[in-house]
Amino acid sequence: MGNTANMPPMTFERRHLTNEQLRQLYVAIAKPRRIEEKMLILLRQGKVSKWFSGIGQEGIAVGVTQALEPDEYILPLHRNLGVFTGRNMPLGRLFAQWQGKMSGFSKGRERSFHFGSNEHHIVGMISHLGPQLCVADGIALANVLQNKHKVVVAFTGDGGTSEGDFHEALNVAAVWNLPVIFIIENNGYGLSTPTNEQFKAETLVSRAQGYGMKGKRIYGNNLLEVYHTISEIAQDIRETPEPWLIECMTFRMRGHEEASGVKYVPKELFELWQVKDPVENYQNWLLAEGVIDEAFVTETRKAIDDEIEAGLKLAFDEPEVTPNTETELNDIYAPYTTASVAPGEATREMRLVDAVSDGLREGMRKHDNLVIMGQDVAEYGGVFKITDGFAAEFGKHRVRNTPICESVILSAGLGMSVGGMKSVIEMQFADFVTSGFNAVVNNLAKSYWRWGQNADVVVRMPSGAGVGAGPFHSQSNESWFAHTPGLKVVFPSNPYDAKGLLLASIDDPNPVMFFEHKALYRSLTGEVPEGYYTVPLGKAKVVREGADLSIITYGMGVHWALDALKEFPDIQCRDTDLRCCCRWTMTPYVATVQRLAKPLCYLDTPHPGIGAESRLDKRALLHPP
CB 252 within 8 A of CB 53: yes
- DSSP 3-state of 588: helix
What is the C-alpha separation between 5 and 486, in angstroms, rounded? Answer: 45
Catalytic residue at 623?
A: no
Query: Cis bond leading into 511, ω under 30°?
Result: no
- DSSP 3-state of 360: helix
CB 292 within 8 A of CB 26: yes
Q: What contacts 353, CB < 8 A, 6 or more positions away?
A: 384, 385, 386, 516, 521, 522
What is the C-alpha separation between 619 and 625, in angstroms, rounded? Answer: 10
Calculate Rg over the CA atoms of the chain.
Answer: 27
How far CA 314 is from CA of 82, 92, 291, 307, 444, in Å, comes to 21, 6, 35, 11, 32
- Give the amino acid at 513: M
- Give the amino acid at 288: A
CB 58 within 8 A of CB 29: yes
- Give the amino acid at 530: E
What is the C-alpha separation between 182 and 475, in angstroms, rounded? Answer: 36
CB 574 within 8 A of CB 551: yes
Q: Is the dihedral of CA 99, 104, 107, 110 positive or negative?
A: negative
Give which of 141, 193, 204 is closest to 169, Cα–Cα.
141
- Give the amino acid at 161: T
Query: Cis bond leading into 608, ω under 30°?
Result: yes
Q: Is the dihedral of CA 246, 251, 257, 263 positive or negative?
A: positive
- DSSP 3-state of 337: coil
Q: Which of 473, 483, 559, 623 is catalytic?
A: 473
The CA-CA-CA angle for residues 608, 614, 619, to 5°, reads: 55
- DSSP 3-state of 445: coil
SS (H, E, C) 475-516: CCCHHHHHCCCCCEEECCCCHHHHHHHHHHHHHCCCCEEEEE
CB 357 within 8 A of CB 382: no
What is the C-alpha separation between 298 and 409, in angstroms, rounded? Answer: 49
Which are the catalytic amino acids?
473
